[in-house]
Amino acid sequence: MKFFKLFSCIALIGLSLSSSAAEISVAQTQLQAPAQTNHIIAYFSARQNGKTTHINTADPQGIYRVLISKSSEGYLVQDFFQANHQAQSSPVLLTDAEDLDRFQVQSAVGEILLYNRNGQRFNKQVYDKDHDVIYVAGYSLHGQILLEQEVNPENGITHTKLWHSNGTLAFELQSNSDMQLIDSQAWRRNGKAFNSKTCFSDRSLDFSSAAIDPCVLQLKSLYQKYEKLWETQMQ
């Protein structure tokens, strides 16, 4: 599976989901789906230049997708690394048959866990019935949570927590859909809180809007560090 960007406002690495794509009912798409289950239905290339694409034959360093089952709810699929047959994702429900051979799925429902080639979980995502991402979490190579983000579908408010690599809480933020902060708290790596008067002074999460703001600088630094970490684990 491809992964949604972890900060909706800052664009961290994650499974990509297009909520604007036209929805196709299961009844309409079942005729396009394979008749058999528990077999390989698609191959994907090794990741190159940040992309994974659908291919016709297996790539030794790529990924393959298995159709586990199909029902009135949709198609339960799971992705695996070709090289060692380790799971690349947990089973995930897709409601659109066109997603069966599409790495960048648009119709996921429920929870997805994502793994690197060593079998370590590094990402968790939850999609609602409308295929919108409502929860994302990112983990270190040792299983420590580094980022957690939850979106309230009723009002669009996003609650984000971000940790330093030593386990100290770095940020706890609430923001709206316009990337404006509603509430914020920030801590340095040593656990000392930032001065609230100088932290996110313009109440924006836009990196370019407050280049000398100490909280923005710390947030940008962690973003770049973790983006690299999660991108590496997708290789």
DSSP reduced 3-state for 26: helix
- pLDDT for 223 equals 86
Distance between CA atoms of residues 106 and 95, nearest Å: 9
Compute the radius of gyration of the chain from its Cα atoms. 19
> Whole-angstrom Cα distance, residue 15 to residue 109?
13
Residue 177 lies in a domain: no
Residue 91 lies in a domain: yes
Instruction: Please give the pLDDT value at position 24.
Output: 25
pLDDT of 36 reads 66
Q: Can you list the pairs that 184-193 forms with residues at least 24 positions away whose Cβ atoms lie under 8 Å?
A: 184/215, 186/215, 186/218, 186/219, 188/218, 189/164
Q: Quote the domain boundaries for residue 55.
A: 22-105
Q: What pLDDT score does 49 carry? A: 82
Flag whether 84 is in a domain.
Answer: yes
Residue 198 lies in a domain: no
133-to-14, 28, 157, 233 alpha-carbon distances in Å:
11, 24, 13, 21
Q: How many domains are there within the chain?
A: 1
Rounded Cα–Cα distance for residues 170 and 190 (Å): 10
Task: Establish if 3 belongs to a structural domain.
Answer: no
Whether 4 is covered by a domain: the verdict is: no
Q: What's the CA gap between 3 and 16, in Å, rounded?
A: 5
User: Each residue's pLDDT tens digit in the chain (235 positions)?
Assistant: 654 444 443 333 223 332 222 222 222 233 344 556 789 999 999 988 878 899 999 999 999 999 999 999 999 999 999 999 999 999 999 999 999 999 988 999 999 999 999 999 999 999 999 988 899 999 999 999 999 999 998 898 999 999 999 999 999 999 988 888 899 999 999 999 999 888 888 887 766 655 678 888 899 899 889 988 988 888 7
Share of the chain residues as helix, strand and coil, in percent rounded to the nearest 5: 15, 40, 45
Q: Whole-prediction pTM value? A: 0.81
CA-based end-to-end distance of the chain: 12
